Chain A
Amino acid sequence: MNMVRLDKQNLDNFIRELSAEYSVYAPGNTGGKTEFIPVESGDEIDFSRTVTDMSPKGIFFPPAEVLFEYDKDGVRAAQTSHRPIAVFGMRSCDARSLVMLDRVFGSAIQMPDDEKFQDPYWKEKYDSSLIFGFACNEPLSTCFCNWFSGGPYNRDGMDVSVVDAGDVYLMEPVSDKGIEIISKLSCLTDASEEDKALLEKMASDAESMMTAPLDVEGLGERLTALFDESIWDEISAKCVNCGACTFSCPTCHCFDMQDEGKGEKGKRVRIWDSCMLPIFTMEASGHNPRALSRDRVRQRVMHKYSYYPENYGEILCTGCGRCVMVCPVNLDIREVLKKFIAYNEQGK
C-alpha cells in the first residue's frame, strides 16, 4: 500500500476516529515529565521531547499489574479492559523494544510448543495493539540506536510508520494490521511523489546526524570472557545502585510478584523489579549472591549485552539513551561498553 498523508490540523479528528475502536496512548506531559498517557484528542499530545522521559513499556507491562484477586471463596482473574490499544508517536527505539519484550512475554521466537511460555497479561494487550511509530528527525546527543542495528527511521515493531514533515504527517503501513487501519481511517489522503522524495531526504538527513556507532560485534562473548576481571570494580565504582536506569529503560523487564492481602481477601500484584536493588537476589537464608554493587552492575550489563543476545540473537538495548539521561552519577552505558571493548583489545 502507498504512503498517505495526514494534515496536522486533522490530528485531532484522526485521534478521535482511532479512539472509537482503540484505547489510544500518546506522549503527554504529566507534571513536567513526558510519558505515554491515554488520550482522546490531539490537544493532549506533547511531542516537545524527542525521547519521552518514561518509556512506553508500561502500557503493555504496567509498573504494578493485578494478576488475580482472591478471598475465602476462591480465586478470580483480574478485571481487564478488552479494548485494543493503539499507540501514536512511538519512536523507533521504543517500537523495537516491544519486539524484544515480546520474545520474552509473548514467545515470538520459534520454539517447540511445549517449551513456549506465553504471558496472557502481555499477550492480551500487545497482540491486538496497533503501533504508530514516529521517526526521529532530530536525534539527541544521547541517542545511540545505530549501535544496535536501529536508526532514527527504523521501522521494526511498527504497524504504521509516521514521519513529521512540517504541516503534515506522512504515514506508511509496515504490517498487515497497518494496511487495514490505513484503509479504514477517513481523514487520510494519498501522498504525492514529492512527499515520497521529501521523506527519503529527511531519512538520510536524520541518519547523518547520528554519531559513528561502536562496533558491538562479539560484545557478548567479550563480556563473558571478562566476567571475573577487576574491570567490573572500576566500572561499578561510581554506581549507587538505584533503579533509575532500569525503570526508565524500555527493555528492562524483571518483575516481582507480591500478595497484598488484608483479612480474608487480597490480590497478587506483579511489580517492576530492578537488579540494581539488593533485595532482587536476597535468598530466604539471608545470603545474597549479588551482595556488592559490582555484582549487580555486572548482572545488568551481562543481561543486556550477553545473556539476552545468547538466548534471542539480539542485544537487549535499543540505544534510546534514557539511562544515560537519568543516571544520578552519570554512569554512561556508552562509556562502559567502550571501556569493555578497549579492555579486551589491549589483550588483558
Chain B
Amino acid sequence: MKMINPDDLSKAIKELLTEKKIDLFIGWEKGSLPLSATPLFITSEDEAERAVFDITCGNNLSIYFTKDRKQFADKKVGIAVKGCDARSVVLNTLEKQIDRANVVMVGVPCHGVLDKKKVLAKTDGREVLELIDNGDTVTLIGKGYELSIDRSEILSSSCLACIYPDAQECDIFIGDARAEVPNENRLKEIKEFEALSTEERWANTCAEYEKCIRCYACRNVCPSCYCNVCFVDQNDPGWIGNTCEFTDSMIFHVIRNLHVAGRCVECGACERACPMDINLLLLNRKVAMEVKDRFGDIAGLDINGKPAMVDFKEDEKQDFIMG
C-alpha cells in the first residue's frame, strides 16, 4: 500500500501559493481527537506545513465551495481531493456551482477513511487516545490497551465499495493515480439488502431512521446538498413536520435520498457525520446503482458529461414511465 508522503502534499500547496496560482487551499490537518482530522484553510506557507492526509481525513472538503452561498466565488482555490471528493467538485462544476477554471484540484492517493463506530466496536467502546496509520494496519492506543487491526476492518462502508479511490479529474496528483479499481464488494451490501423480503427491508429501514435526531449533519456535510433554502428549513408552507417522530424523519431522509439521485458521489460523508450512526449510505448507493443501470451515468465522473437528471437519451430505459 503506497501511502502519501505529507511533505509532498505540503510542497505542492506551497508551490501553488508562491506561484500565485491560488489564494487559498483547502486541506486537512491533524484534529484535536485521534480519530478525526479537521479541515484546514491555508493561505500561508507556514500553514501548508500542517497539511496531512490519512485514514482520519473523512470530510469531503468540496462542501466549502457552496457554503454561505458560494463564499469563494471570487477566489482561486486549491483543494485536496480523494477520488470521491474529486467527483463532487466535478458534479458541482457541471451544476454550475463551481467555476472549474478557478479551482486547482490536488489529488491524494486514498486507501479509505475510517468509520468511528467501527473503531469503537473494536475497542469495546473504550476511548482511543492515539491512532497510528501504518497503511495495511492501524494501531489504536488507549488507556491500558494497544491494538493493531487490519485497515479494512475499520473502513467506512463507502470505502469498502469504492472503485475510484483516486481522483479521475485533477490538476496535480501526489504520487501515481489509479484508474478504476476492480472491487468485488462493489454491490455486496446493496445485493444483500435487495435479497431481503419487503417486510425485512421495511423493518431495517424503520430501525435506522427511527434513530434520527434531525440535526441535519448528513445534509450539511453533503456536497450535493447545497440548496439555498432546504425544504426542511421552510415553514410557510411547512413541507414536513420537524419532530423526531419516525414518519417525519423518514420523509426527510427519503426526500433527501431522491434529491441526491444521480448526484450522490457515494463519499459516505453523511454516514460518518451522523451522531446516531444511521446507515445513511445504503439507500443512496442503491439509487446510484439504479441511475447507473438506467442511464449509464456515474455522478461526477466525467467533466464533459451531463448529470443524469438533466440529460435525456433516446435509448435510455423508460419502462418506469411506460408501465
Contacts and interface: CB of A to CB of B under 8 A. Distances in A.
B233 A247 contact: no
Interface string A273-288: 0100111001010000
A329 B39 contact: yes
B282 to A, nearest CB: 15
Contacts of B210: 31
Given A48-B125, A141-B127, A271 B277 contact: no
Interface in B1-41: 31-33, 36-39, 41
Given A48-B125, A140-B127, A325 B215 contact: no
B211 A31 contact: yes
A330 B30 CA distance: 10
Given A48-B125, A240-B63, A33 B233 contact: no
B229 A329 contact: no
Interface in B204-228: 207, 210-211, 213-221
A278 B233 contact: yes
Give the size category of B's interface with A. 35 or more
Interface stretch (B99-107, B170-178, B237-245, B286-294): B237-245
A330 B38 CA distance: 5
Contacts of B219: 242
A279 B67 contact: no
Contacts of A278: 229, 233
A292 interface: yes
A153 to B, nearest CB: 19
Interface stretch (B83-91, B152-160, B268-276, B307-315): B268-276
Given A238-B39, A242-B215, A279-B235, A293 B67 contact: yes
Interface in B127-181: 127, 129, 143
A330 B33 contact: yes
Interface string A1-42: 000000000000000000000000000001111000000000
Nearest to A323: B275
A314 interface: no
A284 B236 CA distance: 9
B243 A269 contact: yes
B32 A54 contact: no
A63 interface: yes
Interface stretch (A155-163, A189-197, A331-339): A331-339
Contacts of B124: 48
A238 B39 CA distance: 6
B213 A335 contact: no
B213 A54 contact: yes
B215 A274 contact: yes
Nearest to B219: A242
Q: Is the interface of B mostly helix, strand, loop or mixed?
A: loop
A17 B127 CA distance: 34
Nearest to B116: A325
A58 to B, nearest CB: 9
Nearest to A279: B233
B59 interface: yes
B43 to A, nearest CB: 11
Interface hub of A141, A142, A324 (most chain B Cβ within 10 A): A141
Interface hub of A32, A269, A329 (most chain B Cβ within 10 A): A329
A326 interface: yes
Contacts of A44: none
B306 interface: no
A145 B210 CA distance: 31
A324 B32 contact: yes
B318 interface: no
B217 A138 contact: no
A330 B31 contact: yes
Nearest to B229: A278
Contacts of B243: 63-64, 269, 271
A256 interface: yes
Contacts of A204: none
A180 B26 CA distance: 59
A331 B211 contact: no
Contacts of A142: 33, 127
B215 A244 contact: yes
The 3 closest A-B pairs by CB, nearest first: A328-B273, A64-B243, A242-B217
Interface of B: 31-33, 36-39, 41, 59, 63, 67-68, 117, 124-125, 127, 129, 143, 207, 210-211, 213-221, 229, 233-236, 238, 241-245, 269, 272-273, 275-277
17 contacts: A31-B207, A31-B211, A31-B277, A48-B124, A63-B243, A64-B245, A141-B129, A241-B220, A242-B219, A242-B221, A243-B215, A244-B273, A246-B215, A278-B233, A284-B236, A329-B59, A329-B221
Given A238-B39, A242-B273, 16 more contacts: A33-B276, A63-B243, A141-B127, A141-B129, A142-B33, A238-B41, A240-B221, A243-B215, A246-B215, A258-B235, A269-B243, A277-B216, A278-B233, A325-B33, A326-B217, A328-B269
